[in-house]
């Protein structure tokens, strides 16, 4: 499981790939959280907006979801991953209502709790999701992209 996750804005994939070694740092507008899997979170968020449901997906449904987030840089053995959030998800997050974000957060928390129980992240996942949605709105307005960096 990734320990540190940062969702961040970048103008393009090349710039996002440049964060691989040290992370986005203060040079990029971002939101951080801990102890979640960014690729499964991204896939679950995308699934929610494409096939809305208050019920958390099963692991089989989640892992079968396509498109799965794409790496911006090829993964190496150091555990660092940089993903690009799908453009359709970025637009959906940018346009999401407060009610949609609350329902998605509730569903996401339920899935994580069923998998991780007491080892679940202590982050306020609704607040994380709201900040990611704010970043998504900025990405849509500027023509940039939304990415995740994790270690």
Q: What is the pLDDT of residues 69-122, one digit of tens each?
A: 899 987 888 889 999 999 999 999 999 999 999 999 998 888 888 776 666 677
Start-to-end CA span in the chain (Å) = 9
Count CB neighbours of 47 within 10 A.
21
Mean model confidence pLDDT for the chain: 90
CB half-sphere exposure, 92, CA atoms < 13 A:
20
Torsion angle defined by CA atoms of residues 15, 85, 140 and 124, in that order, rounded to the nearest 10 degrees = -110
pLDDT at 16: 98
**Over pLDDT 90: what percentage of the chain?**
62
- The pTM of this model reads 0.91
């Amino acid at each position: 499981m990734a320990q540190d996750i940062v969702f961040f804005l970048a103008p393009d994939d090349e710039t996002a790939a440049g964060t691989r070694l040290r992370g986005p740092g203060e040079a990029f507008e971002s939101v951080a959280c801990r102890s979640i899997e960014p690729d499964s979170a991204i896939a679950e968020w995308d699934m929610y907006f494409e096939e809305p449901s208050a019920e958390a997906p099963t692991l089989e449904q989640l892992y079968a979801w396509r498109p799965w987030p794409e790496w911006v840089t090829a993964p190496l053995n150091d555990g660092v991953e940089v993903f690009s959030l799908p453009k359709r998800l970025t637009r959906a997050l940018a346009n999401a209502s407060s009610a949609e974000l609350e329902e998605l957060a509730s569903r996401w928390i339920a899935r994580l709790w069923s998998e991780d129980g007491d080892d679940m992240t202590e982050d306020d996942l609704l607040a994380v999701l709201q900040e990611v949605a704010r970043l998504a709105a900025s990405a849509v307005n500027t023509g940039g992209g939304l990415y995740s960096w994790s270690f």
